Chains A and B, each alone.
Chain A
Amino acid sequence: MTTPPLSQHILRQLELQPDKSYITAQQMSILSQYVGSLADRIRAYRQIREWEINLIQELVDRLPVEAKKNTSALEQSIKQTILILRYAALGMLVDDTHLGRRRLEDWLPTMVEVYQTQAVDTLLHRSLNQQLPRLLTDSQFSMLKPPLEAAQQLLHIPEETQSDSEPQKEATQSD
């Protein structure tokens, strides 16, 4: 992937100036790759949209009892998780890795602090990251992963001590 950090969606990445020249071969290849994967992106997006409520409910039901004690933190954390998933899904659909990051930067960290959601966020997102690969195909998850991770970075979730839930660490193009 050659997407620069904080880029815009796919069509904005192209310089639409036909008076200057044709789109370059490299840009054409990025565009073809995107168009080639578009049907799969739409399928994945539709599935996430349909699963949203059940998926999140399942994550919530699995939380340990003590994590559910602070209701306002739990409710806020659920909303944040849904938001992040929606931004990640849309980011995947339009190939805009940093969509969630751009829109939620500053705001999300403030909410985490105000509602003290970090403990619940950590649990919800760890289990979200485990569930999504089971619901999506490998290619779909690999397209969802970059925008999802970019948005999740705003939560500052501590790394898991056991590495078994994250089989291989891919080189992410964080900036």
Chain B
Amino acid sequence: MVLVTDLLTDTNLTANYFATDVYVHGTLELGLLENRRGDRLLALPESLIRAIYTGLDNETGQASMLVLYNCGRWWGKNFYTRFCEELTDYHNRPVSSLSMPEFMQALEQCWLTHGWGQISLDSSYREQGFLVLKIRASAFIYYAPKLERPVGFLETGALQAFFSELSGETLHCVQTVCESLGAEENCFVLGIKDRLTVAETGVEQGLSHTEIMNLLVGQGA
């Protein structure tokens, strides 16, 4: 027999932890922006994001892509730790006990609430060993300098580190298509490094996401 009182032992029911209007708190008079645990948040104005790109380009030129990618990797690794810590504290159970859809829902909501855009997982190629992540409306990509190649360097690094931590394997990430080049969404493919070389060639040739995925899947056959 199910007793409702047993389910309400601590009267706390866990729900949508990262819901925007409860996650972000602010005291404008003090200039404070915090998350629901009291950790400080920082709002980045558009001009600062632009300035970071310009500054990096002036200082490091060609290398700025690599610098951003490495920053992304640091960000992704630390973000994974914080993300799991917050979810574990909130649900009072290890993150590993959450199902994949629950975990992804939390990640999607978290990404959105932090203003990084709409992220979603496409697991159609999972059996072939590839994970695809799609991000719409990314501010980092929107304000990036226009190049003839995808420019989500930060996200590429961040997703690579995040999902490497999650899977316990060293993954590599390649952005296949980019909003800055007219694509509807930014697509990122994750997998073992050796198997993603084909994807990098495909990106250089300007192939579409589906074409690149077909190449990737086809190489094992």
Q: Mark A residues whose CB is within 8 Å of B.
A: 53, 56-57, 60, 68, 71, 74-75, 78-79, 82-83, 86, 102-108, 110-111, 113-114
Task: Identify 9 new A-B residue pairs, CB closer than 8 A, beyond the known A82-B13, A107-B109, A108-B16.
Answer: A57-B3, A82-B7, A104-B15, A104-B19, A106-B108, A107-B16, A110-B102, A110-B105, A111-B102
Are B105 and A71 interface neighbours, CB within 8 A?
Answer: no
- Point out the residue from A56, A78, A106 that lies within 8 Å of B16, measured CB to CB: A106
- Point out the residue from A79, A105, A106, A110 that lies within 8 Å of B13, measured CB to CB: A79
A107 touching B15 in the complex, CB below 8 Å, given contacts A53-B4, A57-B3, A74-B2: yes
Are A113 and B108 interface neighbours, CB within 8 A?
Answer: no
Are B19 and A102 interface neighbours, CB within 8 A?
Answer: yes
| Nearest B residue (CB) for A113 | B101
Bound-complex Cα distance A103 to B22 (A) = 8
Bound-complex Cα distance A20 to B164 (A) = 54
Give the shortest distance, in Å, between A147 (CB) and chain B (any CB): 15
Most buried by B among A83, A103, A105, A107: A107
Bound-complex Cα distance A86 to B4 (A) = 15
Are B15 and A78 interface neighbours, CB within 8 A?
Answer: no
Are B13 and A103 interface neighbours, CB within 8 A?
Answer: no
Interface SS, B side: helix
Are B21 and A103 interface neighbours, CB within 8 A?
Answer: yes
- Map CB proximity to A onto B1-24 as digits: 1 under 8 Å, 0 otherwise: 011110110000101100111100
A residues within 8 A CB of B97? Answer: none
Bound-complex Cα distance A28 to B101 (A) = 46
- Point out the residue from B5, B21, B22 that lies within 8 Å of A53, measured CB to CB: B5
A114 touching B21 in the complex, CB below 8 Å, given contacts A53-B8, A106-B109, A107-B15: no
- Point out the residue from B13, B21, B102 that lies within 8 Å of A83, measured CB to CB: B13
Nearest 8 interchain pairs by C-beta? A107-B16, A110-B105, A103-B19, A57-B4, A56-B4, A114-B99, A114-B101, A83-B13
Give the shortest distance, in Å, between A88 (CB) and chain B (any CB): 14
Give the shortest distance, in Å, between B55 (CB) and chain A (any CB): 36
Are A78 and B4 interface neighbours, CB within 8 A?
Answer: yes
Bound-complex Cα distance A83 to B109 (A) = 19
Are A106 and B105 interface neighbours, CB within 8 A?
Answer: yes
Bound-complex Cα distance A60 to B5 (A) = 12
Give the shortest distance, in Å, between B34 (CB) and chain A (any CB): 18
Q: Which B residues from 76 to 132 make CB contacts under 8 A with A? A: 99, 101-102, 105, 108-109
Give the shortest distance, in Å, between B163 (CB) and chain A (any CB): 19
Bound-complex Cα distance A71 to B8 (A) = 16
Bound-complex Cα distance A86 to B13 (A) = 10
Give the shortest distance, in Å, between B142 (CB) and chain A (any CB): 23
| Nearest B residue (CB) for A77 | B2
Are B5 and A107 interface neighbours, CB within 8 A?
Answer: no
Give the shortest distance, in Å, between B36 (CB) and chain A (any CB): 12
Q: Can you report 19 A-B residue pairs in the complex whose CB atoms are below 8 A from each other?
A: A53-B5, A53-B8, A57-B3, A60-B4, A68-B2, A75-B7, A82-B4, A83-B13, A86-B13, A102-B20, A102-B21, A103-B21, A103-B22, A104-B16, A104-B19, A107-B15, A107-B19, A108-B16, A114-B102
Bound-complex Cα distance A57 to B16 (A) = 24
Bound-complex Cα distance A68 to B192 (A) = 44
A residues within 8 A CB of B99? Answer: 114
